[in-house]
A = this chain, B = another copy of it.
C-alpha cells in the first residue's frame, strides 16, 4: 500500500509551527511498510485542499490528513474531504454527547460552532478523540482511504495509536519491529568498527547505529507478522551487539541515562551526592528529574568559585593554588569532600572549562574532569577533552559523569 500525508493549516504555511505530525505519521507508516512518496502542506482553503487531494489519490491509496477539524469557520478539512468523496455530513449522536460532556467537565459553556465537530460524513468510521473535542474520520470508498486526524499532536498521536493503527494493521500482514540499545562510553566510530563485521554479515535483521549527543543508539530491526516472530530473530543479534560493547549498554529505547542510574541506586539502596563546577547544577537537575529520587539523592553542591570549593567541599587551598581549579587533583578532592560532607555512598564531582572563554594553551576550552568517590574510599577521575560549544560540553559532561557512577554500580 502507498500513502501520502497532507497537513492542513495556514499556521504551517506561515512557518508559525513545525510540521511534527508529518514526521510522526511517516515513521508510523514506515513501520507498517507502507510506502510514503510525498508529504504536502496546504492552507485552510477548500479549493487548494481539493486539488491536493486529487493529486494525492492519483498516486496513493491511503491519504492521511491532519488539521482543520476545529470548531471555527476556517476549519474545513472534514467538509472538503466529504465533498470529494461525495458524502453528506450528518450529526453523529455519540460524538455530540462526548462534546457536550467535555464542556460540562471543563465547566465551560459549549458554543454553537462546536456542534459542527459532531457532523460526520455518512457511513464513515468515527475515530473517538480522548484528548479533545474533534473526532477523527476514516472514510473508505472504491479502495481509496482518507483518514482525517486533529492537528494538535497531543490529540493526533493517541488517536493514531489507538484508533488508526489497529485498522491499518489489519490491512498490513507484516510490520517492522525493532529493539534499540542505548550505548555510552564508546565513540560512534569505535563502535561502528567493532560492529562492522556483524553489520556486514547481517541483512535481516538490520543493525543501524545512530549518533546521539554523547551516546550512540543501535537499532536492530526486522519485518515480521508478529512481535514474537520478530524478537526470535532480533534477540540473538542484540546479544551479539552487547558482547561487542561490554558494559556500555545502559538500557533500551526511551530510558534516559539518569533514569538508569537512578534505578541502580534505588535497587542497591546507595546514596549519591554531587559537587559541580562547570555544570553548575545540571547533574543535580538530571537526577532530580526522576520521581522518587529523594530516597538516594539528598544533597548537592554547586561550587563555581574556588572559595566555594574550599568552604563547601574542603578542597585544599594548596591544591587549587598548585594544580588549579580545573585539574585531576581538584576533581578528586571535590568528590571526596562531597562524599564526606553529605555522608553519601558515592559522590560525583565535575570541574572544567566549558567555554567559550577561559581556555589557555595548557588548559584549553573543553578540558573537563569528572570524579567519582566510591564507598571503598577509592576515587576514579576521568579526563575529557570535548570539542563542542559551552552548552554541548556541559550536557556531554553530565552524561559522562553519570556514566562513571553507572559503571561503578554495575561492576
Contact of A279 (CB < 8 Å), options: B40, B278, B285: B285
8 extra A-B contacts, CB within 8 A, seeds A15-B23, A289-B390, A299-B301: A38-B52, A39-B41, A280-B289, A281-B300, A284-B302, A293-B304, A297-B304, A301-B302
Chain B binder among A24-32, A70-78, A233-241, A366-374: A24-32
Pairs across A and B, CB under 8 Å, 15 listed: A12-B26, A15-B29, A15-B30, A18-B20, A19-B39, A38-B40, A55-B55, A276-B281, A280-B289, A281-B300, A288-B304, A298-B305, A299-B301, A299-B307, A301-B301
Residue in A12, A42, A300, A391 whose Cβ sees the most chain B Cβ within 10 Å: A300
Contact-residue size bin, chain A (C-beta under 8 Å from the other chain): 35 or more
Q: Is the CB of B41 within 8 A of A14?
A: no
Q: Is the CB of A274 within 8 A of B302?
A: yes
Q: In the complex, A335 Cα to B274 Cα: how many Å?
A: 20
Q: How far is the CB of A398 from chain B (nearest CB, A)?
A: 9
Q: How far is the CB of A168 from chain B (nearest CB, A)?
A: 15
> Is A287's CB within 8 Å of the partner chain B?
yes
Q: Give the chain B neighbours of A355 by CB distance below 8 A.
A: 291
Q: Is the CB of B19 within 8 A of A25?
A: no
Number of copies: 2
Q: Is the CB of B291 within 8 A of A280?
A: no
Contact of A27 (CB < 8 Å), options: B14, B24, B39, B282: B14
Q: Give the chain B neighbours of A43 by CB distance below 8 A.
A: 37
Interface positions, chain A 270-317, Cβ under 8 Å from B, are 274, 276, 278-285, 287-289, 291-294, 297-305, 307-308, 312
Q: Is the CB of B299 within 8 A of A294?
A: no
Q: Is the CB of A312 within 8 A of B299?
A: yes
Contact of A23 (CB < 8 Å), options: B19, B42, B285, B300: B19
Q: Give the chain B neighbours of A291 by CB distance below 8 A.
A: 355-357, 390
